Structure 1
């Protein structure tokens, strides 16, 4: 029995091996396709990318036909280089350079020789392509933008790099991929699935038909269509209001966390990053270190939040029991807090309680509240950590987890922060009192400010902000429908909301009321410093405004940040009122505010930053001339208007 065991194992193993070899060589022919078989050519069929719609079903991004000229270096024959270059309007040096680059990638695999030809360019080349062996064309689809706004939301399409090709087997050299915005976030859904055709060739390298009658061919599957949470009309209006200004507007639906508008200024027309001029235009945008049109200020710019942060100071004071609604502090246009330190305040009646402290934006009231909270435990490190955790429960000081590929954490200091700043100790409530009014070490992005207001509107909870509303045959990520509850009890929000409501009735925004809409808001002004010529110079303050409406059952919460805009009620406040009315009514009654904001240019303030090139100065002159217009430019109808395009890029 033992003697038979070893031979039996050998026979069994040999039999299994023979069966496997027979299967691979005779039955399963897929390995033939993976071999370097010169008789089989692999052709890809590229699907259309999925369409992009707004929350109401309005088409924002579609597709248009495009053609790439491909080259297989090994198959090149004697080519009339002069005729070839004339057809494509390139130099002989360009031709040689592109061929050498293709050889480096692979002599036997196709590479993109020239990408994104339009129909007329392709037609001229197609007539004579038979004369240029080794070249063929590949049909693709490029983006066709139905909107001249929202560039930062959409992102753009570009060619994959070699590093990504090596990392991800789906992509080949010359393939297109989404970058930035939803094009990047939802690339796997929008791109679709490539189709593959295997073509057999004869000994003369001529195509003689499909391999195995198309047995292994697959068809392309179009990308998934998606609906965004964006309201197209609100987004367009926000970008128009921000012409000749820098900053961001973020609007959120409090009950869902859906992003209604995500405005960054300056911006650009998304169509300039399509076609053969894409690379040139992108390079110009990328190297504009002054206006930074590719920099999404709504998601990336970190600012001191200023007075809107007093809302959180008041809530934490109530939660920690150091104040109640009737607690009073005396303010005589300022507050002394030791060692000759003095915090200025606005002109208002001296006796301040929570309600009028909010609508008068009293620095003294909230500085006193903050000091009481930090001094409560006779341990500044413990107290500031408790304060920090309260603030972070609003989604601040951390990445928010929204479905866009870029963002910043902002900054909410804690005891570790101050141990680094003051390694020898000695810091206390008076040292860090600027945090009380949104200065100091506190930094927030506009989307964090907007989410903070959505949380206030909901009386203590929020949903992670997101920009995807619907994908056919897919469910939205559960994290966008998960409620996040703050560390502040619900009962403390009502007195805060009452004070915010009277900001419009009795306080700093009373001139910004919209008849028939109950708006709760808060003005803000943040100090602004910049390095000019190696010196730290204080520039005009940033204008900030946060709001939600209506007061009961809120439908929109938003934050507006205008760089160098001055007092919050001057520029950011009117923009907030206009955005709210536009969304809730789809029309504007405060035409006085609209006219003033459209006519306001801050380019002279930005010019103080220095280093403006002659080209930028020329653009600024064109841009400033637009401010004399009395009506809003209908951006959806001016794709070919070069003046409008320039003013959006500034």
Structure 2
């Protein structure tokens, strides 16, 4: 037996050798998985973020451009720091923030890169780049943030920021990753698909110290990023800046439209903010300050604030009454102040006089005719039927629901129905005397400033409107704007009824808004005073001009400024003159608006 022992041992060793050689052959020749793993360990996948599209005003003046910044990315599995204090000193980061960001990166992935230090400026990048070689698992990724050559139109343009966890979960396209920037408000959010472009990818060879050794496979696997599309907006920068100057120190809204297209010429929310402060590394800090500001500069008043329309709604009442055959130009009522308060003017008045003098009792009586149709034997049911029929006609004026403007957050206002009053008072327990305040645009009725500007466009166009919008062209192509913005929306009121309305609105300026009169420019307008239970009433004015060939329609709300013929009418008049003439011929009125002393 002992004679065979050397042969047995030799045979075992031979067999083990054969097995090892076979395995080595399989690994090196037939199985390339280990090669791929080795390559991955030496290859860095870098996402090439595209430049966002630029935004211009209607005259091709630049509103938004890109400014390069850098993110310090970390791969947690490879990252290690011997001297934390030195690292924090080099990279200007606190130990607490370093630990927090590194933990967030680990929670996301141990092997995928995550942002460690975000939005490093060009100056700081030049300072730190020599230190990068001393730390494994970190590298710099370039991207861009938005910059604004003019601190204007912040509430319309919006801002971008890091995508949230909730947005990532809702991203059905799986385009975004943690740390990506995305449009969060305004045009930046609405046109995110057009502005964002398409990411590219680069593969780089690195050594064990993370030093870049050049492209992998000579860049054969790299894909180029595609820049976002440029947008030409409808905003007129000169008009926007002038309106912002007039509204400085005030609260309120200005919305100016081109009636024949629905293009928004200016959208002013006061107070506002400099959009440049919501860019760069201090985004979070500055956003928090703006969000806590009692003046609510982030609140986009033109599309989010809701007010009673006041006397401006009398124009809508007139048109509905004419279309329904309940009113005619000769319909006459006395100014019976026992029904509702009014100011001094001749009495009785026909429809033209009621508009010109903004007669409250006239519309109290006219609205009662519209509501109490006597179409049933039940008085309550008659009122209910009349109210719902009236509401159906009013909704066609773009009231009571969102218009569909191309920025997010738009409110729809409210045009009350019989269901609302049934809930509040009980079925059959309300009547005309309960709702008569609707006759003069008060009560439960609410509108936004954008809807009021759209009303002015309807009156200018004699019965139709285009959905207000900010987009004029995408990459120079006007046909790429959404189709809904090129479709006429009709109110259902015959064009012939608007001649009387336009004439009366022109004459109304002499009676209630003499400050709005501009020599050689025929303006048709209407004042309003929106009741405010918590302070001074709001000053309201809508108008369009020139009357015979309207090029601008406008609505102005100045909060807590009292009668509409002062603050709002003066502001609107100056805006109209600025747009049509390019300069102002009434410096005294401009100074009056700038001083803002409207209550006296």
TM-score normalised by L of structure 1: 0.83
| Rounded Cα–Cα distance in structure 1 between residues aligned with 2:586 and 2:506 | 19
Query: Helix, strand or coil: the match of 1:61?
Result: strand
| Rounded Cα–Cα distance in structure 2 between residues aligned with 1:390 and 1:197 | 59
Aligned to 2:484: 479
Q: How far off its partner does 1:405 sit?
A: 1.2
Query: Helix, strand or coil: the match of 1:432?
Result: helix
Q: How far off its partner does 1:204 sit?
A: 6.8
Q: How far off its partner does 1:41 sit?
A: 2.3
| Rounded Cα–Cα distance in structure 2 between residues aligned with 1:187 and 1:351 | 57
Q: How far off its partner does 1:201 sit?
A: 4.8
Aligned to 1:5: none
| Rounded Cα–Cα distance in structure 2 between residues aligned with 1:167 and 1:322 | 51
Aligned match of 1:247 in 214, 232, 252?
A: 252
Q: How far off its partner does 1:182 sit?
A: 0.5
Query: Helix, strand or coil: the match of 1:193?
Result: coil
Aligned to 1:496: 501
| Rounded Cα–Cα distance in structure 1 between residues aligned with 2:41 and 2:303 | 51
Deviations 1:6-65 (A, max 9, x none): xxxxxxxxxxxxxxxxxxxx9xx99x9999943432111122111110001111111111
Q: How far off its partner does 1:208 sit?
A: 4.4
Aligned match of 2:314 in 298, 310, 314?
A: 310
CA RMSD of aligned residues (A): 2.2
Aligned to 1:371: 368
Aligned to 1:297: 301
Asked whether the 8 Å contact 1:69–1:115 carries over to 2, the reply is yes
Whether 1:509 and 2:485 are equivalent positions in the alignment is no
| Rounded Cα–Cα distance in structure 1 between residues aligned with 2:66 and 2:154 | 16
Aligned to 2:402: 399
Query: Helix, strand or coil: the match of 1:469?
Result: strand
Which range moves more in the overlay, 413-422 or 303-312? Answer: 413-422
Change (3 A) 1:335 1:352: farther
Q: How far off its partner does 1:120 sit?
A: 1.2
Deviations 1:254-307 (A, max 9, x none): 10010111100010000111111111010011122x201100000000100000
Deviations 1:224-276 (A, max 9, x none): 11100010011111111111111111111110010111100010000111111
Q: How far off its partner does 1:475 sit?
A: 1.4
Whether 1:138 and 2:141 are equivalent positions in the alignment is yes
Asked whether the 8 Å contact 2:231–2:471 carries over to 1, the reply is yes
Asked whether the 8 Å contact 1:451–1:462 carries over to 2, the reply is yes
Change (3 A) 1:55 1:204: closer
Asked whether the 8 Å contact 1:299–1:408 carries over to 2, the reply is yes
Change (3 A) 1:275 1:34: farther
Structure with bigger gyration radius: 2
Deviations 1:488-513 (A, max 9, x none): 12111111111101012x31012321
Asked whether the 8 Å contact 1:79–1:133 carries over to 2, the reply is no
| Rounded Cα–Cα distance in structure 2 between residues aligned with 1:203 and 1:323 | 87
Q: How far off its partner does 1:132 sit?
A: 1.6
Structural mapping, 1:323-362, within 5 Å: 323-332=327-336, 334-336=337-339, 343-362=340-359
Aligned to 1:541: 537
Aligned to 1:462: 465
Structural mapping, 1:114-133, within 5 Å: 114-133=117-136
| Rounded Cα–Cα distance in structure 2 between residues aligned with 1:79 and 1:66 | 28
Q: Which runs of 5+ in 1 are unaligned?
A: 1-25, 337-342, 531-538, 606-650
Asked whether the 8 Å contact 2:312–2:441 carries over to 1, the reply is yes
Q: How far off its partner does 1:88 sit?
A: 2.8
Query: Helix, strand or coil: the match of 1:120?
Result: helix
Query: Helix, strand or coil: the match of 1:73?
Result: coil
Asked whether the 8 Å contact 2:278–2:287 carries over to 1, the reply is yes
Aligned to 1:181: 186
Asked whether the 8 Å contact 2:90–2:131 carries over to 1, the reply is no
Deviations 1:154-195 (A, max 9, x none): 111111123333443211221111110101111111111111
| Rounded Cα–Cα distance in structure 2 between residues aligned with 1:126 and 1:188 | 33
Q: How far off its partner does 1:206 sit?
A: 5.6
Aligned to 1:440: 443
Whether 1:526 and 2:530 are equivalent positions in the alignment is yes
| Rounded Cα–Cα distance in structure 2 between residues aligned with 1:256 and 1:89 | 52
Q: How far off its partner does 1:438 sit?
A: 0.4
Aligned match of 2:52 in 49, 59, 67?
A: 49
Query: Helix, strand or coil: the match of 1:64?
Result: strand
Aligned to 1:568: 564
Aligned to 2:17: none
Aligned match of 2:113 in 110, 115, 135?
A: 110
Which 4+ runs in 1 deviate beyond 6 A? 32-36
Structural mapping, 1:62-101, within 5 Å: 62-101=65-104
Aligned to 1:271: 276
Whether 1:163 and 2:160 are equivalent positions in the alignment is no
Deviations 1:438-476 (A, max 9, x none): 001110000000101101111000111110001125611
